[in-house]
Amino acid sequence: MPRKRRIGWIGLGSIGTQMVKRLIAAGEEVMVYPRGVGLTDVRTAGAGQCPDYPALASQSDILGLCVYDDEQVCDILLRQGALAALAPGSTLIIHTTGSPDVMRNIAQRAPAGVDVLDACFSGGPADVAAATLTLMVGGEEAALDRVRVLLGHYAGRIVRVGPTGDGQKLKLINNLLFATNLMNAAQAVALAERQGFTPHLIAELMETCSGASYALKLLAHPAPSAIVMQAIRPYLEKDVALAMSNADRAGLDVAPFAATAAYFARPEVAE
């Protein structure tokens, strides 16, 4: 009987924790780097732990990375040595949203025989728990096919969009559009509030109207829209900046998104 695939995991935030729990529930063997808000949850679910990045990588047939940004990705994989420790035949799956250039650099520096996939996701913890997450994957088709069943433990739609780095490109475009929608939705709700309406009730009402959007749905909540925006802002600040920079380098006209870039470049915006 062939042995189970050994899955290593780095990144136990709200998304990464749910991903690991789904993998374990599906019968996969998962070893995690013991850091993150979800450590207790995944240990309770049955995950092992290894407190050393290169050691974890060297023991993994598949290494999943779900951390915050490029800086953390580069620190773990390059400066801490996890990338160099991966064995031929293993696969590195990067779920972090970041720079396409960084992803391509990592793929180029990976040891011979190691596949690198940038598997950007769209959705939240509830989507992971329901296995309905969307993945935009950059990398070789054959490499994706080898891990497609594994990714299907937490994703419902898995689409290869091009070579390594293209998953990042498409996710950044998606997040730029989402940021624009969210900016407009927050300003519309604020406009309604200033005219005497209860913000979240108006957002709920408009969710059944022609102005509906996923962004507006997030604001249809009793919590003030400013609280919702504060929770989302750190992620969109970096993604909007990356999307604008990437488009500008490609020689594209970014003027239609100038207001979005300015809005998310400010540290605080009164919604």
pLDDT tens-digit map of 17-33: 999 999 999 999 999 99
| Same structural domain, 226 and 150 | no
The model's pLDDT over 92-113, given as tens digits with 9 standing for 90+, comes to 999 999 999 999 999 999 999 9
C-alpha distances out from residue 167 to 24, 117, 226, Å: 26, 8, 30
| Same structural domain, 15 and 132 | yes
Evaluate the CA torsion angle 154, 155, 161, 167 in order and state its sign.
negative
Could you tell me if residue 122 is inside a domain?
yes
- Give the CATH number for residue 41: 3.40.50.720
| Same structural domain, 26 and 124 | yes
| Same structural domain, 152 and 175 | no
The model's pLDDT over 174-189, given as tens digits with 9 standing for 90+, comes to 999 999 999 999 999 8
pLDDT score at 194: 92
| Same structural domain, 184 and 125 | no
Q: What percent helix, strand, coil does the chain show, rounded to 5?
A: 55, 15, 30
Last residue of a domain, one of 113, 136, 163: 163
pLDDT score at 2: 64
| Same structural domain, 155 and 181 | no
| Same structural domain, 157 and 179 | no
Structural domain span for residue 231: 169-265
Rounded-to-10 torsion of CA 76, 80, 84, 85: -90
pLDDT score at 1: 53
pTM to 2 decimals?
A: 0.92
